[in-house]
Each structure stands twice: as C-alpha cells, then as structure tokens.
Amino acid sequence: MPLTRKAYRAAILHSIADPAEVGIEASYEYFEDGLLVVDNGQISALGHASELLASLPADIEITHYQDALITPGFIDTHIHLPQTGMVGAYGEQLLDWLNTYTFPCESQFADRAHAEEVAEIFIKELLRNGTTTALVFGSVHPQSVNAFFEAAEKLDLRMIAGKVMMDRNAPDYLTDTAESSYLESKALIERWHGKGRLHYAVTPRFAPTSTPEQLTLAGQLLGEYPDLYMQTHISENLQEVEWVKELFPERKGYLDVYDHYQLLGERSVFAHGVHLCDDECARLAQTGSAVAFCPTSNLFLGSGLFNLPMAEKHKLNVGLGTDVGGGTSFSLLQTLNEAYKVMQLQGARLSPFKSLYLATLGGARALRLEERIGTLQPGTDADFLVLDYNATPLLSYRLKQSKSIAETLFVLMTLGDDRTVAQTYAAGNLVHQR
C-alpha cells in the first residue's frame, strides 16, 4: 500500500497529563502555529510549523486552517444507542423515566432494520459533535450491537459497545435470561472484539435488573476474555441506591454488589457515581476501575452533583459521558459547559485544561487506551478535530476579545456545540465535514 502522508497546520492543543496531578501548566502542549503530520492513519509528527516544515517533502499536501484549533477527538465514556429517539423526554427521575420512556423505546430494537437506521443516525451525531470514540450501551437485542459495530467498522472508528444484560425488574418484552445473555454476549465477543478498532464491553444494565446468576456469568465472561471491557451504572439516584440495598441485603453497599461478582477492574467503567462515598471511590481506584461523569444527565434527571474533587483525591480515573438519552446533548463541549456548573454549585472550579483532559486523555485513561487515543502524540491514532473559531457570530465576536489559550478554550466549551466542529478525522480519514 502506498504511504499516505498529509499535514495539517493550525493552532494545536492537547492534554499530556492530568492537571490535578501535575498542575495546569505542565498538563498541556499548545502550538500557536502548529503542524500535525499524519502517515497511514497515525500521527507521525507534532510541533511548531516553523520547525517541522523544513523536514517535510516538497510535494506533501498541507491543509492550513485559519481561525481554528486542532485538538484530539473527544471520548464519550457513557452513552446509550437505543435512547437516541427519546432524548429530551419530559418530567421524570431515573426509575420512572426508565419505565415511562426508555424501555418502550428500547423494545423497537428487536427489529433489525430499526437498529440499522438508528445506528447510522447515532454515529453521524457522534462524529458531527467531534466524538471519535464512545463506550456504548446497546439494547438487550444482539442486533443493536451488530448494527452499531457494522456502521462503525465501515469508517474504521475506535468504538466499544455491548449488549445489555437484563433478566429481572424490567418488562417481559425486554428481558433475557442469565444463560441467554451469556451466550449472546459470547457470540458478539467472538465476532467483534478486537476486530479492526472495535472492542466489546460486558454490559449488565445495573444491579437491580440482573439476578445474582446473571451477574455471576458477567464476571465469568470477563475471566474468559482478559481484555474485555465492563460497563454498568452505579449510585446515580438515591431511590436506586436504596433499591439495591433491598435487593442485595447481604452486601455492604452498591459497589460491593459489583465487587462480589468480580466486575471491578482496569477496563470497568461505572456511569454516574453521584452518590459514591469515600470508601467506594478508594475501592474503585484500587481496582483500576473508572467512573463516567455525566453532568447533563445528572442535572436533567435531578440525580445530583458528581463530586470530582473526591474522585481526584483518590486518583480515580474519570471520563466524561453525555449519557444520551438521559443526557440532552451529543456534544462533549456542551457537556463540559454543564460540568463547569456542577462544580460551581459545589464551590469548586473546573479549569478549561482539566475539562480538555476529561474530554480527551482522561477518557482514554479511563478506557486504558491512552497509548492509542486521547492525545496528539506521535505514534497514536490520527483521531482529531478542527474547531472553528467563527462557527457562530457570537463565538466569533467573543473570541476576538480573548487574551489567552485558556480563555479561548473556556469560551469554546461554554458557547461551543456541534457547529463548532468543522471537521472530524478518524484514523486519518475525514469522517465529518460541517
């Protein structure tokens, strides 16, 4: 195959460390006039244009963006494919919302054609919003995952997904059994896990909708395939936390249920964690597990405020999740806008560089993929975005007043949305152009 080499010139910014660990100044690299060189889908060089241009062949194609910022692709560590059609559903908190809206919506995925149609819409929305990797819940139907992976494979995207395991406390039309969920998950793992840039996640919806038998088999799958992911929900809503105590009185608490069934580990991601305690944060960190912080959903469903400083204290890996459809936007920029407010309500500040970290390298670390995605380091996959400073009249006017990259970044995260994403690249291929 002939070598395809291209270069992209613009202001370039990426996270290289967690500001909570190294301080803000040491957490990022910024090139006011930068150059990104891509060879065969991987980044081969990054630096100041003035230093790199001389080393490039005279005939290389260089795309020069004015009034734009190149960043790594965004990483969404919690989102539901089957809830695309019910985003913005009115008036309920978690448990009623599941029964009123979510379960009927997910039942439609028994139809393969419906699953394929929604998978196409869903992936287009992700890419339009600059999300190049997502950790995705399917429905209980294997065809939801097959449809999603088929659409992702065509574009060579790095995506992670799994079939929901749910054998109790849900409508009959939407439950599997412990045994069927194990066999169907296993078939999906054999077909998709490690194929191209695709990975499989064992996906018990949450403790209340799985019997002990099903949770045992979920843990067994993780033991059989060592590099699988595991995704579920934890401590999102106070009623839910109480329900778990009633269903599992023999366990110490919500996290202990998952711990008992051997579901904690380096590729385990727990969505929400709004009502975790100190001990649970410590145990998650100790096992290398991660939490997905989902601010738009936590506010929309009235779940509560995620305690990011507590997670930082325990050096717990935290990624960002849109949680569509409880969340109200596919945009991680808009999600960061809400994350800032969640911190403000707790008397804490969220720096724009910490926000960038959460949306990129932090998400990659939560998924143990920082060697491949989340930065623009040479040797990583060429998953990156071009953000347009003139995307809207207000954004354009506001950024003309900006005096620093910190201010520019914060304004992009406050006023930005899908319109800000001019182009999205995955493995060096242009997969979205506004």
DSSP string across 319-359: EE---TTTSS-S-HHHHHHHHHHHHHTTT----HHHHHHHH
The reported pTM is 0.96
In the DSSP assignment, the letter for residue 272 is E
Alpha-carbon gap, residue 319 to 307, rounded angstroms: 13
The reported pLDDT for the residue numbered 70 is: 98
321 cis-preceded (ω within 30 degrees of 0): no
The reported pLDDT for the residue numbered 1 is: 45
Residue 15 phi/psi, 5-degree rounding, is -80, 140
Alpha-carbon gap, residue 202 to 151, rounded angstroms: 20
**Enclosing H/E stretch for 361:** helix 361-366
Supply 289's token pair: 């597990």
Q: Which of 339, 271, 352 is nearest to 305 (CA)?
A: 339
Alpha helices in 164-209 (DSSP H): 178-192
Supply 172's token pair: 């009959």
Written as tens digits, the pLDDT of the chain (434 aa) is 446 899 999 999 999 999 999 999 999 999 999 999 999 999 999 999 999 999 998 889 999 999 999 999 999 999 999 988 888 888 778 778 788 888 888 888 888 999 999 999 999 999 999 999 999 999 999 999 999 999 999 999 999 999 999 999 999 999 999 999 999 999 999 999 999 999 999 999 999 999 999 999 999 999 999 899 999 999 999 999 999 999 999 999 999 999 999 999 999 999 999 999 999 999 999 999 999 999 999 999 999 999 999 999 999 999 999 999 889 999 999 999 999 999 999 999 999 999 999 999 999 999 999 999 999 999 999 999 999 999 999 999 999 999 999 999 999 999 999 999 999 999 999 999 99
Q: What residues have CB less than 8 Å from 57, skipping those under 6 apart?
A: 5
The reported pLDDT for the residue numbered 396 is: 97
SS3 state of residue 429: strand
The reported pLDDT for the residue numbered 100 is: 86
SS3 state of residue 20: helix
All structural domains of the chain? 5-72+376-433 (2.30.40.10), 74-330 (3.20.20.140)
Exposure letters 254-274 (e unless 16+ CB within 10 A, then b): bbbbbbbbbbbbebbbbbbbb
Alpha-carbon gap, residue 157 to 58, rounded angstroms: 31
Q: What residues have CB less than 8 Å from 377, skipping those under 6 apart?
A: 14, 16, 43, 46
The reported pLDDT for the residue numbered 3 is: 60
Alpha-carbon gap, residue 70 to 363, rounded angstroms: 18
SS3 state of residue 141: coil
Bridge partners (DSSP) of residue 164 are 203
CB-neighbour burial class of residue 253 (10 A; exposed 0-12, middle 13-18, buried 19+): middle
The reported pLDDT for the residue numbered 311 is: 96
The reported pLDDT for the residue numbered 96 is: 86
C-alpha dihedral (73, 160, 230, 219), degrees to nearest 10? -160
Q: Is 182 left (phi over 0), alpha (psi -120 to 50) or beta?
A: alpha
- Tell me the CA end-to-end span of the chain in Å, nearest whole number: 30
